[in-house]
Structures are given as structure tokens and as C-alpha cells.
Amino acid sequence: MTNVRALAAETLFQVVDKGQSLSAQLPYAAHKLSPKDKALLQQICYGVLRYLPTLEHYCQQLLDQPLKGKRRVFQFLLYVGMYQLQYMRTPEHAAVAETVNALQSMRAPGLKGLVNAILRTFQRQFSELQESAARVSVCQYNHPGWFMKKLQAAYPEHWQDILAANQEQAPMWLRVNRAHYSVNEYSELLDDAGIEHSLEPRFEDGIVLDKPCDVYSLPGFREGACSVQDAAAQLAARYLDPQDNERILDACAAPGGKTCHILELAKANVDALDADSERLLRVEDNLQRLELKANCIHADASTPNEWWDGQAYDRILLDVPCSATGVIRRHPDIKWLRRNSDIDDLAVLQKKILENIWPLLKPGGTLIYATCSVLPAENSEQVANFLDCTTDAIHQPLHESDTPTTPGLQLLPGLSDGFYYAKITKQQ
């Protein structure tokens, strides 16, 4: 029988030490587990990644020296045990016993004494260890130092709120398919199904659930009545404002939520472009479930000369590759996979894509620039530089303080994820 704690330790080792994505490793690790154990595996992995600096600090205090080399994976098993003891409702004796038993399936029964001793000491000295961690800045917030500095510079009054929101479980938002139901009609179906939820007027297609649920328990999900999509991401198609019969490009389209939303709002001719062939399959899956049609193109948005047919687009949604620092609560591995140097590299790529996609837009057409980042270098600074250097680009404000020098709308994680939008039209 597979030990969930052993799987968690091995998954975390692959993510933190080997730089693998959690969203790629989790399904691989969980494919043979029961639904209950899959949920436990995810809970442990997410939790350890959320509180990694604190758990590392505890181990530093309790181990004479860190476990390295072939024994490194067992350091993550200690994190798994400590996370259960501090943050989960698992009975303490069970948390310790199951974590120690994991060593059997990890083929290291000789380490049972060490792991048991460390976890027992952790229980006895927990108050002192907690006080010690509270004095360490990185343990107070459980984010990398470089990221905290960038947030402090960009949001001197709100940076702590952003970090706190990143540690919370993200809400489950639904996007109602307006081709099937109004939001109020679908809300009534949820009431009938006993699924508690609320409506938020700011997000006109959205419903937020009081607690996450299995998508197949949602009324009409298989038939395309709704999709799971964060409220912030739902704004993309609304700001794009697609119209019937228009030619529209959704660049960097995977996994397809925005593509489908565009087609739910208008009978448009949509090209869905993405450089990742595997993720493009998810676009096709979403289109199929919702019985929608788009032209899926496997190509790189930064090199349109390799795929563009020469016909200009009425509207372009440009959801560029970014640091994803606005969706850390959904993907806590981002904190440990992303590096400070990545931000400058991404800004260069974003500039290249924006400049190379712009000629594909018709005069009078609309481009929505979007990211799921909270960093100005990828967002307002990027768009301000583009507006300053592009004579036929006209800034279109999305709110009162959206100006050409500080353009766009920045949403911070909270009710929705952290997203950025800017609207630009091309001079006639």
C-alpha cells in the first residue's frame, strides 16, 4: 500500500530541489491513490510549500546538520511530519507514526529512530521553536526575501496583505455560460443542489462557492453550463468585448478558459495560439466540453512571421508569459521556483511579444494586455514603455486613475487572484 507521506516527501523534493512544477508532479504522484488520499497528498504538499522557511528553520534547530545527498529526501519527510503536527488536525500520535512508517516504503527503515526522535523533540520544544521562528523575517511571512522587497517597493501600504492572501486557500469561482443560463438562473440551480455560494456584481459572469467542490457535482457541468475560472481571469474576455463575426486572436491561450469565454460572449472567429503543445490539448478539451469551436495553433507568439496568415485581427487578447506572482495561493511552488533574475528575463520576453503582435492588429482594433503577476516591471511599467514608444497605440483607461504613465488595472490577491489588465487601441 502506498504511503501518502512518502509520496509527499518525494514530490516536495522534486519541486524544491529539482525545480519541477508541482502541477506536473502531483498528478504523477497521485495517480494510484484513492480520492481521499489524493486530497491528503495535495493538502500536505501545498502546506509544506506555503510554510517552507518556517519548517526549514525548525529542522535547523533540531538537526545537528541537514540531511544531504541521497538522504536529502528524508529532510522533506521531516517537513511533512512537522507540517502535520503544527498545521493539520491529524492526531499527533498518528502524524508521527505515519511519518515514521513512510520510511519503510522509502526503503530507509534505518532512519526510523532519527525521524521519530526529531518529531518527538519537535512536539516537546514546539513553543520555543515557534518563538525562535517568529524572530526570523523570512519565517514571519514565508516568502523569499527578493519577492518581499519588490512588494514593499511597489505596495508600501499593502505588501503584508498580499503575503497574507498568498498563504490562504484560493476560493473556487465559477464562470456561468451565458449561452445556457443567466447568473441568477444558475444561482438558483446551485441553491436547488444545496451548494452554498454568493454573487459579486463586479464580476458579472461569476459565482464564488463558499467551499470548493467536485466539478461533477455542479449542475450541468458536463453539458457546459459553467466552467471553473477565477473571477480576475473572467475580466479578460469582458474587457476585450468581442463581437459577432470578428476575427480575434487569443495569444498564449492555454489552458483555454479565456478562449471559451470569448466564444460564449460572441460568435467570433477565434485563433487560439500557444507554444506548449500539451497545454494546447487542454484548450481543445475545454472547447469540446462546451461545444465551441476555435482554430488552435501550436506556435510561438513572439515570432508571428512563422504562423500568421497576413489577415489582421479585430481584437487581440495578449495574456503574456509572466512570473505568476498573482496566483501564488493556487501554486505555492512559484515562491520557490521563481528567481529574482527571472523578472527581468520575463520583461524582455513580454516586450518582444507585445511589439511583434502589435502589427497583427487592425487599425481601430483593440488589444488587451494581461498577466497574472503583481509586479510593476511586468505590468504598468511594461505598458507605459510600449505606449511611449508606439505612435499608433492609444491608451484606453479601465478606471479613474488609469493613465498613460501608470496604465492599467492591477488586482491584488484577495476576493480574486492577482491579475493585471491594460487596454490599448490602434489609431485609425
Residue 254 is assigned to a ligand binding site: yes
Residue 321 is assigned to a ligand binding site: no
- The CA-atom distances, in angstroms, between 360 and each of 267, 379, 397 are 21, 21, 22
Residue 300 is assigned to a ligand binding site: yes
Residue 170 is assigned to a ligand binding site: no
d(CA 197, CA 213): 11
Residue 17 is assigned to a ligand binding site: no
Q: What residues form DSSP beta bridges with 274?
A: 298
Instruction: Detail the DSSP E strand segments found in 70-225.
Output: 173-176, 197-199, 206-209
- The tally of CA atoms less than 13 A away on the side-chain side of residue 425 is 11
Residue 70 is assigned to a ligand binding site: no
Residue 19 is assigned to a ligand binding site: no
Strands 206-209 and 361-371, how do they pair? unpaired
DSSP structure class, residue 45:
H
* Contacts by 162-169, CB closer than 8 A, 24 or more apart: 162/374, 162/412, 162/413, 162/418, 165/329, 165/412, 165/413, 165/414, 166/50, 166/328, 166/329, 166/332, 166/335, 166/413, 167/50, 167/142, 167/329, 168/329, 169/212, 169/329
d(CA 50, CA 54): 9
d(CA 122, CA 95): 12
Strands 295-298 and 269-274, how do they pair? parallel
Residue 252 is assigned to a ligand binding site: yes
Q: Choose the catalytic residue: 139, 226, 260, 372.
A: 372
372 has catalytic annotation: yes
Residue 258 is assigned to a ligand binding site: yes
Whether omega before 255 lies within 30 degrees of 0, making that bond cis, reads yes
Quickly tell me which residue has 492599467 as its cell. 408
Quickly tell me which residue has 478606471 as its cell. 399
Residue 319 is assigned to a ligand binding site: yes
- Give the residue ranges of the annotated binding site: 252-258, 274, 300, 319
Catalytic (active-site) positions: 372
- Give the residue ranges of the annotated binding site for S-adenosyl-L-methionine: 252-258, 274, 300, 319
